[in-house]
Amino acid sequence: MTESITITDNRTGESVEVPIENGGVDASAWKTLLPGLWFLDPAFGTTASTESAITYLDGGAGELEYRGYPIEQLAEHSTHLEVAHLLLNGDLPTTAELDSWVDDITHHTFLHENFRRRIYDAFHYDAHPMGLLTSGVAGLSTFYPSSKEIDDPDVRMQQIVRLVAKMPTLAAAAYRFSKGLPFVFPRNDLDYTSNFLAMMFSIAEDDWVPDPALKRAMEILFILHADHEQNCSTTAARVVGSAHADPYVSVAAACAALYGPRHGGANEAVLRMLGEIGSYDNVDAYMERVKSGEERLMGFGHRVYKNYDPRARIIKDAAHDVFAVTGKNPLLDIALKLEEVALADPYFVDRKLYPNVDFYSGLIYQSMGFPTEMFTVLFAIPRTVGWLAHWQEMLEQDSRIARPRQVYTGERGRQYVPIDER
């Protein structure tokens, strides 16, 4: 039997029956009964803005799948570029497809010299790297005017390759700029993740390679951050993309959204919070301030997960592999105690607040030598794949421009008063 709901317009007595499909109802079916009537849904808490076949997320069960593959399997066996192919094309690649995809990405990593010299050099010496990255991605739009041809699938794929390939270069260049270090050119002999780490950390060593355990941890973190369905930044990319803006400015909009401390900026906020707490003994007092509403426990809570974020569990395990190489991060004990206290406290239990992806990732990044300001940048590099997968899916769906309704609560019909009479 098909489940359904019936809505009755009490003004006219007319009803419409709407089937419940895939856990929801199609709002457009209501339009026939209720033309012109809006649905108030601030922050889109109950609005599905699209159908999508990219990422499955069950927040209650704590399950996450990319194109049907559990995140745990991908984190264990895959590489970021293989996952990128999966997200963008729908299937895991064959060997030939993967070779060709990796080759394409490897040969599009360089930045135009004018870009590096004129755009990045225009920033203040201590500019936040997310500011550089966001502006830099938008700036790329002006270097590739053909990217405006968004209806051409080949042109679209060319920009996807460029963006996936150049994000690590842009990110590392932002870091080197902020440190006053010379830029390091991309290296074609290295894989995607090793190349990024080399552009970040090598100094006058042509044959620099990362520690294999740290490289694998970075790969896992890239995989875990590659997509998360209709989150704030992906929605930003889709909304801007729905106006048929080019992919560079659409991704720049997503970067801007990710920059916020409630979203991708949370990993940076977690580290600042742990530093502020300072010691194991101060955890209880801090938790009291959280419960009284003075603070938020950063890295906890999620709009969709009402269970342990599966990515947080994988990151927590990966942290031990990293600390085996770098030595234990001294802030780990504070983080573990915060988690232990929170998971036993009715405030957090009743609100279903669990660690999210950002709670442990910052500890790894810090131990690997990344400064706090780079944490959100490290989120943006892999998430570019997700943003582009959704941007492409949206264009293939023949979507309309995003344009929500509002409920107007202001005044009406006021008469203009000259300034000297107010």
Q: Which residue is nearest to ligand CMC (CB)?
A: 301
How far apart are CB 79 and ligand CMC at their closest, in Å?
A: 23
Q: Which of 223, 239, 266, 368 binds ligand CMC (CB under 6 A)?
A: 266
Interface stretch with ligand CMC, choices 1-9, 121-129, 260-268, 384-392 (CB under 6 A): 260-268
How far apart are CB 261 and ligand CMC at their closest, in Å?
A: 7
Is 263 catalytic? The answer is yes
Under the binding rule (CB under 6 A), the answer on residue 87 touching ligand CMC is: no
Interface stretch with ligand CMC, choices 10-18, 28-36, 82-90, 348-356 (CB under 6 A): 348-356
How far apart are CB 264 and ligand CMC at their closest, in Å?
A: 5
Q: How many CB atoms neighbour CB 207 within 10 A?
A: 8
Under the binding rule (CB under 6 A), the answer on residue 335 touching ligand CMC is: no
Tokens of 119: 């755009």
HSE (CB half, 13 Å, CA atoms) of 339?
A: 19
Selecting among 80, 128, 358, 390, the annotated active-site residue is 358
Under the binding rule (CB under 6 A), the answer on residue 297 touching ligand CMC is: yes
Under the binding rule (CB under 6 A), the answer on residue 251 touching ligand CMC is: no
Selecting among 80, 128, 228, 302, the annotated active-site residue is 302
Block residue for tokens 């943003």: 387
Tokens of 324: 């085996």
Give CA–CA dist 50/227, Å, rounded: 16
Under the binding rule (CB under 6 A), the answer on residue 268 touching ligand CMC is: no
Task: Classify residue 119 by its DSSP letter.
Answer: I
Q: Which of 105, 130, 184, 298 binds ligand CMC (CB under 6 A)?
A: 298
Q: Which of 108, 216, 263, 306 binds ligand CMC (CB under 6 A)?
A: 263
- Sequence-ordered list of residues with C-beta below 8 angstroms from that of 276, at least 6 positions apart, any chain: 286
Q: How many CB atoms neighbour CB 81 within 10 A?
A: 24
Under the binding rule (CB under 6 A), the answer on residue 102 touching ligand CMC is: no
**Phi (first) and psi of residue 16, to 5 degrees:** -135, 135
How far apart are CB 421 and ligand CMC at their closest, in Å?
A: 44
Q: Which of 231, 234, 366, 367 binds ligand CMC (CB under 6 A)?
A: 231
SS3 21: strand
Under the binding rule (CB under 6 A), the answer on residue 299 touching ligand CMC is: yes
Interface stretch with ligand CMC, choices 170-178, 274-282, 294-302, 360-368 (CB under 6 A): 294-302
Q: Which of 134, 130, 139, 127 is nearest to 177 (CA)?
A: 127
Q: How many CB atoms neighbour CB 408 within 10 A?
A: 7
Q: Which of 293, 299, 294, 295 is nearest to 269 (CA)?
A: 299
Sheet of 55-58, strand order: 55-58, 63-66, 69-70
Task: Classify residue 285 by its DSSP letter.
Answer: H
Selecting among 263, 321, 333, 345, the annotated active-site residue is 263
Give CA–CA dist 30/14, Å, rounded: 12
Under the binding rule (CB under 6 A), the answer on residue 302 touching ligand CMC is: yes
- Integer CA distances (angstroms), 144 to 163, 362, 406, in order: 11, 34, 36
Give CA–CA dist 92/84, Å, rounded: 9
Site string for ligand CMC, 350-369 (x = CB under 6 A): -x-x--xxx-----------
Task: Using CB under 6 A, list all residues that contact ligand CMC.
Answer: 231, 262-264, 266, 290, 296-303, 351, 353, 356-358
**Catalytic positions, written as ranges:** 263, 302, 358
